């Protein structure tokens, strides 16, 4: 039985040990949340309408209570509790969030909205406040309602305990805890945060403004251990006027209790320099000196990290009231914008001047900031991220922002822009950034056209040109001519004079000036300055010939002249030698080209011609300085006789001798006699040559032969059917009646859809100049073609063709017409020269009237000849530059584009750039990008193929910038900037004057003394300022004012003080100044001291009315005057032997700072042997090689303990301090008290279980030995 029991004990002990071990391992991750908070169980919500009215709800899902405010608009408070989180909302700023009954438990408090309350009092609670991204403002303490509270804005104290035994406080999230007790009078907090352990984590901020005339702060943070590991800010402002105050009670150099790990910045401001207790009150210490004391401890392992730097300090000693300011942060160790690198497409931009970008081109932009190790560590941990922004400004207008414009940077238009690069850091879970941690860099960008080289050749629509006509040019290899400058020039080959034709900037030119005749014109295309094209291309030279004169000269009026009564000559009555050429001959010329115009008439008369002679006159328009001789030659015959014989008859209204008429249509045509003075003719008949013709039309009139010219004026015909024929005015002659005519016409009878075997003809016969092209050139065929007549004929068009030699069946050379031959191709209205034509054998280009689908044929209507030459080899003549003169300022950039000249020169060319003065102007030898680096002059050379004949230069002068006036910055409200004409921008911070109130705006403003910019800000209301102290029966006056501009914000009266009677029997009452009082105001401190006891008597106690004393047996009492009369009467008792102090050394009394003995006489209130604690370390559990030990501090006199459960690293971790001769254990960061408490119970259980296992095992083994023996002579006593 005993054996079985022992075995069971062992098994149970083993199981208990395993369970305890599980708890030890998991204890750190288990939160000890209460089952119920403020009467709310998990999932409960309470809505409070008034002090006596509330409603409780239950919900399965609870993520907050603010949403209930719309459902319950009359609510004043709403509580909710779920999964260890308390949600709270109120619209009453005087409410105290009081959380009793869960001391030692963990609790989360979630802040949903910006909210103001009086205070938080949660005695003994381990409270975590999740600020979210909101601000929780606390304006009072909790003492006025909870007497056991210590008087803190966030009070986690347990009643009747020291601060180390209070609950722990964790503040986390991205929001802020704001404490402002500067205006709450006697209700102001004595402490800001009061907790056993305070941790400010993540991105949470603390902003404490404490202290006022009636309630001064002692400690902003009172805690046994303080950890600041946040990327938020800590800002402390203390306004004490009498008492010394402390930011916190832990020493900044005590690494075991103070852990300054991270913070955006720490900022302290004390309104009175001498009341800053943290660093003493030595008037000789400036803030800079104090900062030095914090950082010079290089030899101590617990000195502050070097990356903490001072941002500003201020500590004037002129008077006690001078504020004392100190701010330090880790941002101080972030490098400035000088260490910020900006890259465009991977290349670093130099921010000292300008940079060149190209319009319409996309760029990848990157910002790199040199960062310290602590920043990189936080970034790796995911606690912060870098934020990079690029903004592009055109003047004052932002046109691009990388935060809102996805993709690459692209600027469409050329010009000068400002690029603002900004580097910041932020919370990964928020878009909020802090400009206090930002670096900026501004770069002036000159946006240029990237530059395209002009591409030739230049082609013309004519190979030769006559005066008065248009010459059209084209650049067939360039579709976009925006940025191309067109120039026309005229050159005289004899004088070599080459002049610019002013005003001609288009692709076509009308050559209508006489000075062009006999000279050559050509076009030049080149890139415009600052345009997207560069380079030059030249067109070939085109001879300007005299203009053609296609006009038909008017008929001459010529008569025979007599001398001595017989005919012997002629006279041209309308002779005009200046306008016309006249040639006379007795011979009739069938081939007009045989006329020798050098023998033209110089006079209107001629002689040597007699009766019976026939004289033939030929005439044309005469050649002038600008026109050729007319190519239409008219002829006229004169018979020397008295009778003026009819030479011919012209039928007016025909189309080049053809009459078009429709079946059934009748048309009448007027006739004209030639000469008009004819008075004799042969009898003639108007008729068709055969009956074949008569089937298509008929002659209506004249129907009879004509012998008298006086009655002959018109001819009428009528169409019969589709076809064609002719008619004439026939008269009899030597060869028969049908061989001689005075004239006639061709007749085509048609309908619009049927021309029969005929074709439409040209409304006039144009003449086109011959063309000469080079191989590969193209020529635009003329588009101003004649109309077709009849106009209503359908299915016909004019088309160009080309003749091609061929052999007919008999072997004779003939021409076949098509759209292409071996020399030329006709396509899309253009001629393209394919190969050189044979010398003296140009190709004929013909214009034909064709039906759809037909090819050109020999019956063409007009033509011109094309000669094709070999393509000339164009040699390079030089280099062209986009600029030849530049004026820059230091830091400017510019781009030079260079091209071989002409652009279509044969060969391959590489152009290199050089500077003759790189100390003034640097140039990229490949790109031509120049940068002005110094004041002076330089010449930039562009040389092709290192050929000295192919070189061009640009003269560059560099001067100082000429900046305009300062104006407010377009990029930052903190800066102003000024511009140079070159586009360079200078930026500086505003130099603001003092703040001035602006009632109209409802804000205050201050003006920059440099640029005049007015910056407005919200008023910052300061604490109450007493104008007149309230006195008994007399109201006082007070006001608040803006701490920056002095504007009066609020004015109030302070109630008149009411004093109450204080009647002391057997003693005297005095106020805090030592004045005897019989009446005093409520709230003031009163000290009452009993009179000396009568002989034989001793003081016994005070008999009190109107107040309860803390210790009525004390002869001297101090209390706060209540709002009512007070009476104290001293009572005496029989005296004993005269009292002699004797310290009770068996019991030490103590507080946080001092210890003392009480007098053994309990009626004696003296503190004996009072002294400060002398703490020494005590080891509770020694450290081993594998396990940490535990130690605490203990006063060597009174036994007062602090720093409980401080870990001693295992001996394997122990390292001697480098500069510590004692080799003390290196300090480690203690665990949170909550974590320690959670491990105590499991640890105890584990120890007990292991002991139980050991004991059980021991007894089992002993029992076994007793039964079986172990080979020796043991006995029962041994077994015991």
Average pLDDT for 887-891: 84
Query: pLDDT category, 436, cuts 50, 70, 90?
Result: low
Query: pLDDT category, 438, cuts 50, 70, 90?
Result: confident
SS3 readout for 607-638: ECCCCCCEEEEEEEECCCCCECCCCCCEEEEE
- State yes or no: pLDDT of 316 exceeds 60: no
Say which range, 675-684, 1102-1111, 1173-1182, has the weakest mean pLDDT: 675-684
pLDDT attached to residue 255: 59
- State yes or no: pLDDT of 157 exceeds 80: yes
Higher pLDDT, 808 or 712: 712
- State yes or no: pLDDT of 584 exceeds 50: yes
The pTM for the full model equals 0.51
pLDDT attached to residue 1137: 64
User: What does CATH list as the number for 1059-1138?
Assistant: 2.60.40
pLDDT attached to residue 107: 95
Average pLDDT for 961-988: 80
Say which range, 672-686, 851-865, 998-1012, 1253-1267, has the weakest mean pLDDT: 1253-1267
SS3 readout for 527-591: ECCCCCEECEEECCCEEEECECCCCCCCCCCEEEEEECCEEEEEEECCCCCCCEEEEEECCCCCC
Query: pLDDT category, 1223, cuts 50, 70, 90?
Result: very low
Q: Which of 72, 73, 76, 74 is nearest to 57 (CA)?
A: 72
- State yes or no: pLDDT of 527 exceeds 50: yes
> How far apart, in whole angstroms, are the C-alpha atoms of residue 329 and residue 235?
11
pLDDT attached to residue 1204: 80
- State yes or no: pLDDT of 809 exceeds 60: yes
> How far apart, in whole angstroms, are the C-alpha atoms of residue 1168 and residue 1144?
9
Say which range, 746-750, 944-948, 1042-1046, has the weakest mean pLDDT: 1042-1046
Q: In what order do the strands lie in the sheet with 929-932?
A: 893-895, 929-932, 921-923
pLDDT per residue over 752-762, tens digit each? 999 999 999 98
CB 788 within 8 A of CB 762: yes
> How far apart, in whole angstroms, are the C-alpha atoms of residue 111 and residue 104?
22
Say which range, 196-210, 383-397, 568-582, has the weakest mean pLDDT: 383-397
pLDDT attached to residue 1162: 74
- State yes or no: pLDDT of 192 exceeds 70: yes
- State yes or no: pLDDT of 1238 exceeds 50: no
Pairing between β-strand 85-90 and β-strand 106-110 as defined by DSSP bridges: parallel
- State yes or no: pLDDT of 51 exceeds 70: no
Domain coordinates in residue numbering, the chain: 1-30+1231-1280, 111-333, 337-446, 458-545, 558-622, 654-749, 778-869, 991-1043, 1059-1138, 1173-1230
- State yes or no: pLDDT of 295 exceeds 50: no
Domains 337-446 and 1059-1138 share a fold: yes
CATH architecture of 654-749: Sandwich (2.60)
Residues in CB range of 831: below 8 A, 6 or more apart: 771, 773, 778, 779, 780, 781, 824, 825, 845, 866
> How far apart, in whole angstroms, are the C-alpha atoms of residue 774 and residue 1124?
124
Residues in CB range of 95: below 8 A, 6 or more apart: 77, 117, 118
The segment with the largest mean pLDDT, out of 81-90, 668-677, 1015-1024, 1025-1034, is: 81-90
Higher pLDDT, 1151 or 463: 1151
Average pLDDT for 358-380: 85
Domain topology for 337-446: Immunoglobulin-like (2.60.40)
CB 860 within 8 A of CB 848: yes
Query: pLDDT category, 1236, cuts 50, 70, 90?
Result: very low
pLDDT per residue over 1159-1190, tens digit each? 887 778 788 888 888 889 888 888 888 888 88
Say which range, 538-542, 1030-1034, 1072-1076, 1243-1247, has the weakest mean pLDDT: 1243-1247
pLDDT attached to residue 312: 66
pLDDT attached to residue 21: 47
- State yes or no: pLDDT of 8 exceeds 50: yes
Say which range, 175-184, 196-205, 443-452, 1191-1200, has the weakest mean pLDDT: 443-452
Pairing between β-strand 885-889 and β-strand 484-492 as defined by DSSP bridges: unpaired
Average pLDDT for 535-564: 86
Higher pLDDT, 649 or 677: 649
> How far apart, in whole angstroms, are the C-alpha atoms of residue 220 and residue 230?
18
pLDDT attached to residue 1266: 38
Q: What percent of the chain has pLDDT over 90?
A: 26
The region, left, alpha or beta by phi > 0 then psi within -120 to 50, assigned to residue 946 is: left
Three-state secondary-structure class, residue 749: strand
Query: pLDDT category, 4, cuts 50, 70, 90?
Result: low
- State yes or no: pLDDT of 2 exceeds 80: no
Average pLDDT value over all residues in the chain: 81
Q: Phi/psi of residue 409, each to 5°?
A: -75, 130
pLDDT per residue over 768-791, tens digit each? 888 888 888 888 888 888 899 999
- State yes or no: pLDDT of 599 exceeds 60: yes
User: What does CATH list as the number for 458-545?
Assistant: 2.60.40.2700
pLDDT per residue over 690-736, tens digit each? 889 999 999 999 989 998 888 788 999 999 999 999 999 998 876 55
Query: pLDDT category, 1061, cuts 50, 70, 90?
Result: very high
pLDDT attached to residue 954: 92
- State yes or no: pLDDT of 1267 exceeds 80: no
> How far apart, in whole angstroms, are the C-alpha atoms of residue 941 and residue 950?
10
- State yes or no: pLDDT of 317 exceeds 50: no
pLDDT per residue over 815-848, tens digit each? 788 999 999 999 998 999 999 998 888 899 999 9
Residue 1096 CA, distance from chain mean position: 95
Average pLDDT for 1187-1209: 85
């Amino acid at each position: 039985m005993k054996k079985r029991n022992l075995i069971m004990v062992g098994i149970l002990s083993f199981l208990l040990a395993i369970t305890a071990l599980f708890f030890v391992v998991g204890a750190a991750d288990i939160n000890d949340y209460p089952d119920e908070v403020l009467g709310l169980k998990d999932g409960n919500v309470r809505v409070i309408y008034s002090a006596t009215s509330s409603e409780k709800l239950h919900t399965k899902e609870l993520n907050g209570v603010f949403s209930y405010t719309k459902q319950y608009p009359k609510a004043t408070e709403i509580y909710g509790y779920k999964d260890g989180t308390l949600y709270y909302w109120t619209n009453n700023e005087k409410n105290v969030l009081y959380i009793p009954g869960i001391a030692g438990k963990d609790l989360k408090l979630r802040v949903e909205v910006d909210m103001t309350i009086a205070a938080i009092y949660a005695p003994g609670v381990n409270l975590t406040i999740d600020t979210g991204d909101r601000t929780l403002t606390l304006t009072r303490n909790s003492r006025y309602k909870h007497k056991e509270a210590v008087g803190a804005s966030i009070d986690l104290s347990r009643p009747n305990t020291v601060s180390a035994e209070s609950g722990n406080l964790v503040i986390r999230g991205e929001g802020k805890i704001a404490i402002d007790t500067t205006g709450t009078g006697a209700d102001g907090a004595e402490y800001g945060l009061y907790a056993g352990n305070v941790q400010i984590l993540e991105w949470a901020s603390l902003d404490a403004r404490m202290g006022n005339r009636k309630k001064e702060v002692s400690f902003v943070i009172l805690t046994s251990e303080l950890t600041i590991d946040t990327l938020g800010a800590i800002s402390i402002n203390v306004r004490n006027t009498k008492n010394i105050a402390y930011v916190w009670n832990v020493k900044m150099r005590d690494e075991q209790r103070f852990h300054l790990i991270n913070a955006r910045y720490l900022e302290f401001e004390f309104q009175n320099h001498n009341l800053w207790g943290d660093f003493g009150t030595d008037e000789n210490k400036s803030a800079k000196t104090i900062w030095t004391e914090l950082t010079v401890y290089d030899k101590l392992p617990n000195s502050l990290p070097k990356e903490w730097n001072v941002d500003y300090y201020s500590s004037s000693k002129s008077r006690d009231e001078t504020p004392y300011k100190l701010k330090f942060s880790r941002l101080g160790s972030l490098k400035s914008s000088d260490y910020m690198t900006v890259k465009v497409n991977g290349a670093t931009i130099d921010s000292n001047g300008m940079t060149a970008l190209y319009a319409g081109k996309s760029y990848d932009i990157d910002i790199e900031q040199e960062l310290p190790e602590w920043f990189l560590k936080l970034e790796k941990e995911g606690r912060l991220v870098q934020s990079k922004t690029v903004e592009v400004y055109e003047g004052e207008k932002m046109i691009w922002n990388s935060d809102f414009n996805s993709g690459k940077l692209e600027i469409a238009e050329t010009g000068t822009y400002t690029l603002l690069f900004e580097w910041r850091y932020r919370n990964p879970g928020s878009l909020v950034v802090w400009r206090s941690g930002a670096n900026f860099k501004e770069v002036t960008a000159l946006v240029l056209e990237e530059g395209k080289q002009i591409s030739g050749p230049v082609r013309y629509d004519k190979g030769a040109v006559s005066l008065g006509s248009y010459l059209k040019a084209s650049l067939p290899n360039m579709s976009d001519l925006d940025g191309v400058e067109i120039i026309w020039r005229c050159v005289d080959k004899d004088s070599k004079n080459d002049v610019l034709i002013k005003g001609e900037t288009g692709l076509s030119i009308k050559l209508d000036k006489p000075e062009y005749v006999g000279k050559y014109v050509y076009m030049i295309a080149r890139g415009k300055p600052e345009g997207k094209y560069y380079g030059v291309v030249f067109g070939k030279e085109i001879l300007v010939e005299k203009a053609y004169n296609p006009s038909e000269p008017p008929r001459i009026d010529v008569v025979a002249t007599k001398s001595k009564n017989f005919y012997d000559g002629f006279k041209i009555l309308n002779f005009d030698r200046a306008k016309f050429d006249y040639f006379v001959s007795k011979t009739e010329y069938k081939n007009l080209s045989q006329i020798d115009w050098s023998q033209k008439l110089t006079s209107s008369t001629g002689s040597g011609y007699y009766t019976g002679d026939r004289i033939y006159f030929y005439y044309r328009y005469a050649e002038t300085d600008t026109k050729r001789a007319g190519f239409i030659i008219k002829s006229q015959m004169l018979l020397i006789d008295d009778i003026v014989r009819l030479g011919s008859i012209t039928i007016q209204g025909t189309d080049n001798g053809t009459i078009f008429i429709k079946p059934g249509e009748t048309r009448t045509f007027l006739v004209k006699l030639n000469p008009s003075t004819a008075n004799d003719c042969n009898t003639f008949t108007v008729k068709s040559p055969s009956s074949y013709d008569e089937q298509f039309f008929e002659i209506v009139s004249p129907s009879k032969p004509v012998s008298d010219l006086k009655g002959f004026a018109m001819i009428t015909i009528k169409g019969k059917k589709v076809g064609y024929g002719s008619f004439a005015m026939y008269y009899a002659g030597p060869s028969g009646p049908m061989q001689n005519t005075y004239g006639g016409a061709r007749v085509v009878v048609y309908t619009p859809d049927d021309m029969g075997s005929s074709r439409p003809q040209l409304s006039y016969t144009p003449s086109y100049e011959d063309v000469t092209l080079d191989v590969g050139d193209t020529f635009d065929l003329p588009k101003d073609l004649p109309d077709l007549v009849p106009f209503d004929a359908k299915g016909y068009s004019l088309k160009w063709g080309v003749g091609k030699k061929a052999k007919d069946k008999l072997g004779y050379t003939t021409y076949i017409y098509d759209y292409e031959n071996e020399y030329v191709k006709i396509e899309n209205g253009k001629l393209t020269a394919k190969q050189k034509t044979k010398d003296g054998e140009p190709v004929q280009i013909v214009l034909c009237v064709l039906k759809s689908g037909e090819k050109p044929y020999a019956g063409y209507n007009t033509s011109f000849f094309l000669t094709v030459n070999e393509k000339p080899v164009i040699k390079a003549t030089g280099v062209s530059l986009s600029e030849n003169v530049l004026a820059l300022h230091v830091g400017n950039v510019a781009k030079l584009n260079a091209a071989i000249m002409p652009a279509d020169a044969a060969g391959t060319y590489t152009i290199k750039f050089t500077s003759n003065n790189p100390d003034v102007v640097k140039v990229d030898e490949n790109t031509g990008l120049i940068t002005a680096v110094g004041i002076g002059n330089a010449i930039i050379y562009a040389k092709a193929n290192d050929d000295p004949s192919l070189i061009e230069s640009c003269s560059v002068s560099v001067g100082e910038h000429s900046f305009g006036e300062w104006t407010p910055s377009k990029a930052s409200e903190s800066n102003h900037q000024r511009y140079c004409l070159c586009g360079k921008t200078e930026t500086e911070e505003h130099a603001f004057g003092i703040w001035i109130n602006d009632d109209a705006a409802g804000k205050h403003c201050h003006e920059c003394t440099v640029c005049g910019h007015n910056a407005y800000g919200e008023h910052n209301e300061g604490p109450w300022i007493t104008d007149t102290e309230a006195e008994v029966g007399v109201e006082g006056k007070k006001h608040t004012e803006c701490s920056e501009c002095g504007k009066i914000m609020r004015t109030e009266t302070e109630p008149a003080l009411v004093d109450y009677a204080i009647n002391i029997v057997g003693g005297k009452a005095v106020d805090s100044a030592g004045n005897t009082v019989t009446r005093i105001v409520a709230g003031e401190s009163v000290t009452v001291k009993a009179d000396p006891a009568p002989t034989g008597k001793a003081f016994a106690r005070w008999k009190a009315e109107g107040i309860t004393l803390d210790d009525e047996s004390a002869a001297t009492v101090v209390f706060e005057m209540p709002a009512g009369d007070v009476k104290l009467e001293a009572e005496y008792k029989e005296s004993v032997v005269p009292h002699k102090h004797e310290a009770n050394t068996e019991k030490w009394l103590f507080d946080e700072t001092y210890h003392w003995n009480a007098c053994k006489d309990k009626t004696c209130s003296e503190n004996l042997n009072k002294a400060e604690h002398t703490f020494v370390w005590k080891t509770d559990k020694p450290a081993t090689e594998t396990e940490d030990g535990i130690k605490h501090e203990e006063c060597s006199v009174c036994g007062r303990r602090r720093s409980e459960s401080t870990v001693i690293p295992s001996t394997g971790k122990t390292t001697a301090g480098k500069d510590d001769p004692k080799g003390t254990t290196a300090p480690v960061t203690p665990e949170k008290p909550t974590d320690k408490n959670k491990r105590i119970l499991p640890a105890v259980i584990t120890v007990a279980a292991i002991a139980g296992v050991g004991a059980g095992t021991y007894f089992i083994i002993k029992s076994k030995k007793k039964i079986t023996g172990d080979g020796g002579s043991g006995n029962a006593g041994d077994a015991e």
